[in-house]
Amino acid sequence: MRVLVLTGAGVSAESGIPTFRGKDGYWRNLDPTRLATPEAFARDPQLVWDWYRERRQRIRNAQPNAAHEAIARLAHHAKDFLLVTQNVDDLHARAGMPAQKMVQIHGDIFVTRCSRCDWRTELRDADIHNIRGHIGLAGACPSADGNEQEDVEHGIPTCRKCRALMRPGVVWFGEQLPWNELQRVEDFLDGGACEVVIVAGTTATFGYIIDWALQGSPECLRGELIEVNPEETPLSRFATRLVREPAAIALPRIVNEMIRS
């Protein structure tokens, strides 16, 4: 079985992570689709970092739900499998999804990278910027393991190599998708049509999500295109099966059916 799964924020909703466009998505009355932009960062990096720090903390406290677990189970059963997630959280990985079968096309919230050069760092266990920012100090700051050093200026991390501001390692609106990750999706799609494409928990606002779903499941080959979403989306009219239920309820059932058949 060759399977492509495309996920969005709705898959993590039942783990308590607010979606971008849902009613809980607003933060301090600000629209997340306006915060996740290079313009917002240029205007007010402190505000954007505050938002990402809170999101990191919320994700650390969250647990994968039955939808993440079902997708990971499917990944282990299918012969050829790729998950392309727009989610920057680590809940798919924590549910057991192997890294080589997953593409985080909008990046990883736990990566911090330089806004100018190629320097990047991952701080999963403790957000040291938070601590440093909180006490309002500038300068080198030891990380949780005492080895890595991070420089922080007024609560905003700065690059150790070039002193520019560090930023979250995610893709913002209007930015290019990461080339390597894009290539991995294209290589998988070039490898042949899928028996099943599942699109779960995304508004499919980006053209490339629709393109990949359709490319993975060409009409002429009669593959299944399953949409799991309580709401209608631009992809709904192409789906061969519409499942209007929360992902954590629908996906375990769909995956069980697929594994049994």
List residues binding ligand OAD (CB under 6 A): 8-10, 13-14, 19-22, 33, 36, 86, 106, 171-173, 200-203, 205, 228-231, 233, 246-247
CA dihedral 12, 129, 107, 119 (to 10 degrees): -170
Find, among 154, 153, 162, the residue nearest to 113 by Cα: 162
Q: Shortest gap between Cβ of 77 and ligand OAD (angstroms)?
A: 22
For ligand OAD, give the closer residue by CB, 196 or 228: 228
Q: Shortest gap between Cβ of 49 and ligand OAD (angstroms)?
A: 16
Question: Residue 106, exposed/middle/buried by CB under 10 A (0-12, 13-18, 19+)?
Answer: buried
Q: Shortest gap between Cβ of 227 and ligand OAD (angstroms)?
A: 9
Point out the catalytic residue in the list 68, 76, 92, 106. 106
One-letter amino acid at 168 equals P
Cα 49 to Cα 167: distance, rounded to the nearest angstrom: 8
* CA distances for 79 relative to 1, 74, 99, angstroms: 5, 10, 16
Q: Shortest gap between Cβ of 52 and ligand OAD (angstroms)?
A: 11
Q: Shortest gap between Cβ of 202 and ligand OAD (angstroms)?
A: 3
Cα 126 to Cα 69: distance, rounded to the nearest angstrom: 25
The residues, any chain, with a CB within 8 Å of residue 43's CB and separated by 6 or more, are: none
- CB contact at 8 A, 196 and 209: no
Query: The tokens of 242 are what?
Result: 């519409």
Residues belonging to the chain: 261
For ligand OAD, give the closer residue by CB, 7 or 158: 7
3-state secondary structure of 214: helix
For ligand OAD, give the closer residue by CB, 13 or 166: 13
For ligand OAD, give the closer residue by CB, 128 or 239: 239
Nearest-10 crossing angle of helices 207-216, 179-190:
30
- Assess whether 106 carries a catalytic annotation: yes
For ligand OAD, give the closer residue by CB, 43 or 222: 43
Active-site positions read 106
